[in-house]
Amino acid sequence: MAGPACLRQGSTPAASLLLGGLAVALLVLLALRSIHGGVKGSAALHSPRQLAAAVEGLAPAAADGGAAAEIAAVEALLDGWPLGKPRACIVILARNSDLDGVLSSVLQLERRFNSHTDTKYPYLYLNDRPFSPEFKRAVAAATAAPSFFGLVPREHWSYPPHINQTRAAQLRSEARRHMPYGGSESYRFMCRYFSGFFFDHPLLAGFDFYWRVEPDVHFTCNLERDPFRVMQRRNASLAWTIVMSEVPSTIPSLWPTTQQWLAANPQHLAPRSLLPAFLEGQDDAAAGWGPFSLVHRWRTEQQPGVSSGGGGGGDAAGGQPWRQRQYTGCHFWSNFEIGRLSFFRSAAYRSFFAHLDAAGGFFYERWGDAPVHTLAAAALLDRSRVLWASDIGYKHGSWAHCPLDPASRPRCDCSPFYDAQPGRQPSCQLDFLDRLAALEAAEAATSQ
């Protein structure tokens, strides 16, 4: 409030007129945006946004930082959404400093997929701090798809009241040198946000599906199928590309806390769940292959076709595998994630997250959203609702997935030969696929 009032006091009549004119122009532009944003999005939405951004800083700021206008624009877009087309969006959590990496990821996703769809899926950019005009201008100009910008609510990016912040800070400083992001407070906020809150952001309210994209990732294949339509048609709730191992010291109590929740809520465990494929087998323990065992990893890496013995047995008959067994630490790597929002908004998922949050491991340890999403999907969903998006070429950091089938060669710029080597695949991916095969074989055997 102080800024505009001071400006007005010192200004001349001509300056007041100019400022008033700019304010009116901004209002007209925002109204235009709501009208155009709904239907074809892109081109019509673009220039008003850029003009609006150009006068940003001169015009009086909206009291809510523009949140209501942004939500109205998304609603208008969805009001005109084609019948039958998945109500889906691309979600990017980023800082202003991530701009170059965001542009790189977005340009690839556009080239490989989104710019070829009839109605382009919108981008929803989220941040714990306001996006700069420069960030907004640059990413909006990068796509013909509409872009929207949201602020993460403070209560979703901070400590819940039961956390002892002094203890959390002390544990962080001890963890600093022992694990990636061990000393980072903001990384913990980020992991908790993706675990428990992103699906409730008001900008996502009207959507059924999201695709999570990060800065500096690579999409290496032209997509022939719309993954959102695949999710819709197959009634899927989660799609993944890479299964990664977790750094054990980040999650020592995640599995015991999950076990507590499962014991109190057995009705939520899906009868044909994926959970056994994420658990060490009983005979693994007998053979001395404890959780995260290198011997176990070596065995599955060297002999990918050989069953590790886990996952099968009596579990497939609907037992309670989670009671006795250890979590392998393998998880769907969540920097790539296509999901159905109703899964995360379900009472079961919310109850699971609330239980984890109450236990404090997001702050006293460094629980990642990837193992949290994975354990939830593995326990709560029928196996058929979790898909391997194996036709999507993808790379994050030094790990990649490249479609292996020869028919994919002309549409991909990655090396299936290179990526197919067992040593080039995360050991957890081999472990998971191996256990999954064992689980399905055991289930087939019992149903005969």
Ligand X SMILES: Nc1nc2c(ncn2[C@@H]2O[C@H](COP(=O)(O)OP(=O)(O)O)[C@@H](O)[C@H]2O)c(=O)[nH]1
Q: Which residues bind Mg ion (CB under 5 A)?
A: 214, 335
Nearer Cβ to ligand X, position 99 or 277? 99
Q: 98 near 131, Cβ under 8 Å?
A: no
Q: Which does 190 bind (CB under 5 to 8 A by kind): ligand X, Mg ion, none?
A: ligand X
Q: Which does 106 bind (CB under 5 to 8 A by kind): ligand X, Mg ion, none?
A: none
CB of 173 to ligand X, least distance (A): 18
CB of 215 to ligand X, least distance (A): 5
CB of 29 to ligand X, least distance (A): 26
Q: Which does 98 bind (CB under 5 to 8 A by kind): Mg ion, ligand X, none?
A: ligand X
Q: 302 near 348, Cβ under 8 Å?
A: no
Q: 201 near 74, Cβ under 8 Å?
A: no
Nearer Cβ to ligand X, position 127 or 143? 127
CB of 382 to ligand X, least distance (A): 29
Nearer Cβ to ligand X, position 34 or 114? 114
CB of 157 to ligand X, least distance (A): 8
Catalytic residue among 337, 365, 440, 443: 337
Q: Which does 128 bind (CB under 5 to 8 A by kind): Mg ion, ligand X, none?
A: ligand X
How do strand 337-340 and strand 238-240 relate by DSSP bridges?
antiparallel
How far apart (Å, rounded) are the C-alpha atoms in residues 189 and 129? 13
Nearer Cβ to Mg ion, position 110 or 214? 214
Whose tokens are 């203890």? That residue is 167
Taking the CA of residue 67 as centre, how many other CA atoms within 13 Å lie in the half-sphere pointing to its CB? 15
Nearer Cβ to ligand X, position 214 or 391? 214
Select the residue whose beta carbon is closest to ligand X and give its number.
Answer: 186
How far apart (Å, rounded) are the C-alpha atoms in residues 102 and 98? 6
CB of 99 to ligand X, least distance (A): 10
Q: Which does 94 bind (CB under 5 to 8 A by kind): Mg ion, ligand X, none?
A: ligand X
CB of 396 to Mg ion, least distance (A): 6
Q: Which does 93 bind (CB under 5 to 8 A by kind): ligand X, Mg ion, none?
A: ligand X
Q: Which does 257 bind (CB under 5 to 8 A by kind): ligand X, Mg ion, none?
A: none
CB of 349 to Mg ion, least distance (A): 23
Nearer Cβ to ligand X, position 254 or 380? 254
Q: 220 near 418, Cβ under 8 Å?
A: no
| The pair of three-digit structure tokens given for residue 6, joined into one six-digit string | 């001071």
Q: Which residues in this chain contact ligand X in the complex, by CB under 6 A?
A: 93-95, 98, 127-128, 186-187, 190, 214-215, 335
Is there a catalytic annotation at residue 280? no
Angle at 51 between CA 50 and CA 56, to 5 degrees: 95
Q: Which does 388 bind (CB under 5 to 8 A by kind): Mg ion, ligand X, none?
A: none
Nearer Cβ to ligand X, position 152 or 376? 152
Nearer Cβ to Mg ion, position 34 or 335? 335
- Report, as residue numbers or ranges, the catalytic residues: 337
